[in-house]
Structure 1
Amino acid sequence: MKRSILFLGLAILFGTGCNKPAPTLPYNMRDPKVMIQTVVKGLAGADSVRIFREALSNLSLSAEETADGITVLPPLNGEMAQGNMVGREAGNLTELTANALKDHIIKGVYNQYELHNGRTFTTLSGKTLKISRRADTVWINGIQVGRKQAVLTDDQAIHIIKRAITPSNTNDPLETTTFDITVWDSSEWSPQHPKGKTVEGALVELYKTQLDFTAGKVAYKTLTGNNGLAHFPKLKPGRYYVHAEIAGKSNVWVKRTYEGPILAGPAIKGIFQSDAEAAGAPTQEGPVAGNLRWIDLNGDNKIDVSDYFSMPYESFETIDGLTRKADITIGKYLNR
C-alpha cells in the first residue's frame, strides 16, 4: 500500500509521459533483513523468549515471504519442545533449524482479534495452524497464546505462545494450567532406588499460602495414582504450597509455631545416599544412608530450631496454559 501510494505520487509529479529516469525509491521497510532485525529488536526486553529471539536473528527470509508483513509466534524458553529443534542447553542456548523457526512465522499481520475460532493459517514452512478461541483466550494447535500481542505495527505482529509449535498439530487438545506432582517415598530408599519409590494413594494438597495450610484451607487436593502421580488439571495460575502424606510419611514436619500462627519445621534437602555422605553433612539426628537430609538454614553446620522454615516449605509457580511438573519427597522423620 505504501509503495502504491508512492508510485502514484511520483506519476502525478513527473507526468506519465516523462522521459526522465525514475527517482530512487526510499528504503523498503519490508526488506527481509530489516523485518527480522525489527522483530528481534521488538523482543529485546522479553527474556522469556530469548532462545527463539537469538536463533531468529540469524534467519534469512525472502522478499516474497515478507511482502505482506509477518506475524511471529515466539515460544517461551522453558518450554522449547524437541522435534525439528536441536536442543543444546550449554550456555542456556538452543539452536533451531530454519524450518522450525518458519513454523512460527505467518505471512500477513494479524492482531489478537483476527485470531478467530476455527480459522486456519499456513506458516512459512508450510505447517497448518488452527485457531481455537474462548472469549479472550486463544490457542494455536492447542497451545495457549499470550493474552495480548507483544508487538503490533503495520508490518508485523508478535504473539508470545507458551511452547513450541513444531511438534503440534491441528488435532491437539487445548492446553490448560496443569500441575503434575510425582511423590517419592524416601522410606523405600535403597542404592538401587536413590529417590525411593513412587507411592500410590498419597494425599497431595495445594495451598495458596502457608497461613492457609495452618487454617486447613485447601485450594486443591487429589490422590496419587499407581505411578505416584498427582494430577491437577485446570488450575488457576499462581504459586502453590505443597503438602503430601500417607501412613505417617510426609514432606511436612511441624515442630513449632513460627511468625504468629504459621507452623515451622525442618525442610528436606535430599536423602543421604551413603553413611560417608551422612558423616560429612551438618550434624543432625539419625545421619545414616536412607534418612532425610535437612537444610542448614543458618550455615552453622548443625540442624536445630534455628534451621526451621515456614511450612509447607516447598512451593511452585504454575503458569497460565502450561503443565508444571515437580517431584516431592516424603518419608518418616527418621526413615532408618
Structure 2
Amino acid sequence: MKKLLLPLLVCGLFACKKNNDNPQTPETNAVKQEILDVLAGKPTLSEFSAAIQKVSITDAETANGLTIFAPSNDAIGAYDPGAKTMGKDLPDSTIKDHLVKGLIKLSKDTILTALSGKKLEVKKVGDTLYINGIAILSLPGAEGKIVFYTVADILSTPLGNTNVTVWDATQWSTEKRNGALLAGATVSLYLTREEYKNKTPRYTAVTNANGVATFTGVAPAEYFMVAGKGELSNTWPDANNSTLASADTLFQSTAEIANSPALAGATPGDFKMLDLNQDGVVNNSDRAEAPYRKITVGSGTTTSEKVLIGYPVNHTMTLLKTTVEADSILLKAAIQLGNVQKQLVIMDAVMSNDADCNGLASTWCAFDQFTFTASDATIFNIWANHYAVIGQLNRILLSLPAIQGDTLKLGPVTRSLRGLAYMQLATYFGGLPISTQITMPADISRSSPEATYAFIKNDLLASANGDLAGTDKEHYITVFGANALLARLSLNTGKYADAAAYSKVVINSGIYNLIGDTSAIYTETFNTETLYNIPRSYGSPFSQFFTVTRPGTVNFCPIIRYAEVLLINAEANVNLGDLENATNMINQVRMRRNIQTTGLLTADQAREAIRVLRNRESYREGQTFSTLVRQNLAAQELSNNGYKEYNKLLPIPLTYLNSYPNLTQNPGY
C-alpha cells in the first residue's frame, strides 16, 4: 500500500498524462472557431492561438459574443522566462483573463470582468487605452461574434509592490543629510505624463509616521513618481510643464558645491539638480518635461525607493528658526522693496509729467508716451520683484509660530512691509493675486480691487495696532507710519472718514512736524517729517533724477512723510464737507513753502490748493500719477502724451499670464 502512495501523490500534484500521444482537445464552438480563424492569420499571435485551442469555452460564455485581448508570442515567452513559457503551458484561468463576455468596443475608462472573474480596469490616457496598466496596441479588428484587441503584455502578469520613503529636504542639517522623514506626504505614480497633466494618477499612497508610502498590487511597469506635501515637492513645473530635475541628493558642503554643477547661489542643504545638457552648470537650460523622476515596479517583487522633497532652492524657502534669521531676511526684503521703489518713482514721474524720458534709458520713453505693453521689461521687474519680496515676507510670517525669541515686533513689521508691497502693486495694477505662501500657487487668480484693498488694510492695521511706538531700525515701521499708510490707502479707495481719522492719529501724536529747511528732509533718516523710510542704495540714474530740485546731499526718498499726511487730511475733509479743517491743513503746508495763507476756502479752491501743493511737495517722489488718476485729472493732463483711459492701470506682465493661467489681463491690453 505504501508503494502506491508516491505515484498517486505525484499524479495529484502534476496531473499525470495518459499514455496517449494525441490527447483530445476541448470541443470547439462557433465563437471559439472564429477566434482561431482570426488568429490563424497572425503569426505573432500563434502562441495565444495554441492557448485558445486548449482552453474550454462554453456556449453560455459565448452566447453574446466575446471580446479578446491577445498578447504576442514575445509577451507569453516573457511571462516566465525560466520556464520558457509557451501558449500550451498557460493554465485555463490565465487564458480566460484575456476573454470578456460580450462585444465591447472600448473608448473610455471602464471596468470589465474577465471569464476568469478577474477585474480588468480600462483607462484612456491621451489617445491610448490601457488595461490593467498594459497598453492596448490595436483597436477592434474583426466583426461578427468577437471583438479583437492586441495587448502589450499578459494581463495575468503578477502584480508588484513598492515602498517609497519620503524625506523633507528643508530639514537638512549636517546631522540630517537627507533632511527629516516626513509623515502625511502624498506619493503618486503616473504611467504617462498625460496622466500627470490630467491629474489622474494610476496609484496614490500617503506616508505613514515613518515617512513610508506603501503600494501593493501595482501593475508591473515604469512609472513617473511625484511626491509632495503642501508646497514641498520633487517636481516644480512651470507654465510649459518643464521642471528642474532633482538627483534626490542634497549638497553637504560648500566644497561639494564648488566642484559640482549647481544652481547659482546654491548653499549646503540645497538640491543637487541634474545637469541635463552636460555643460557644467545648472540653469533653465536643464529643465525637462515634468514629471522627471521614474521608478520601476517589477512583476511579483517588492522594491524600495526614496525621494527627497522641498523647494527648487531650499535655502530661500525653508522656515526660519530664530529672530536673528528672520530679521536678516526682513532687512533683505526691505532693501529689495526699496530698490524697486526707485523704479516706481521714476515710472510715476515720467508718466505724470514730473519728468520726461530725456536723460534716462530709452526704455522709459514707453511710459512717457504710454506705448508700453504687457511684454515691457520694466513692468515685469516691478511686478516680479514685489512678489519676490512678498514671498520672503510670507516666509517670515509662516515661521512665526516656531521662531525662538521675542517676535512681538517682528510680526507687525513684516505685515507692514507686505501691506506696503501689495499697496504699491494695487495702485498701478488694480486687483491682485493675493498669496500668503512662499511661492505663488499655480492656480491663483486675481482678487477684486475691493478684496485686495481689504487685505492690505488688515496688514497695515496689524502694524498700527502693534507694539511699534518707536524703533532704532530704519526698516521697522512705527504705529504712526502704519497709520499714515492707512490714511493713504483710505484716500485712494474713497474712504474719506477713515482717511481723516488715520491721518489725525499722526497729527495728534505731536511727534511730527514740517521741517523749515526742506533739503534736510532727505538727509537725516529719523527726522521729524519722515514717517517711514526703508533703506536702499542711490546709484545712477536715480541719484541724478531725484536730486533735480534737491541740491546737496540726498540719502533717501521717504515712503511717506508728514506733509503728505496733512494733505491727505485736507483732501479727506474737503470731501467730507469740513472746509475749516481742510483750510487749516492747507495753510500749514503753505507756510512751510512761504506761500501766503488764506481764510476759509471753498471746496473748489481747497481742491486746487491741494493739487498745487501736492505737485510741489511730492515732486518726483512717486505720488503724482496716482494722484491724477484718483482725482480724475489724468486724461485732462496727459492726453497729449498718448494717455488713454485704460492706462490708469498697467498691464499684467505677459510672462505671469502665461505662467498662471487663471490670471486675467487689465482691459485695453
Q: TM-score range by the shorter chain?
A: 0.3 to 0.5
Name the structure where helix makes up a greater proportion of residues: 2
What TM-score, normalized to structure 1? 0.47
| Structure with the larger RCO, 1 or 2 (CA within 8 Å, 6+ apart) | 1
Give the number of the structure whose alpha-carbon radius of gyration is greater. Answer: 2
What TM-score, normalized to structure 2? 0.24
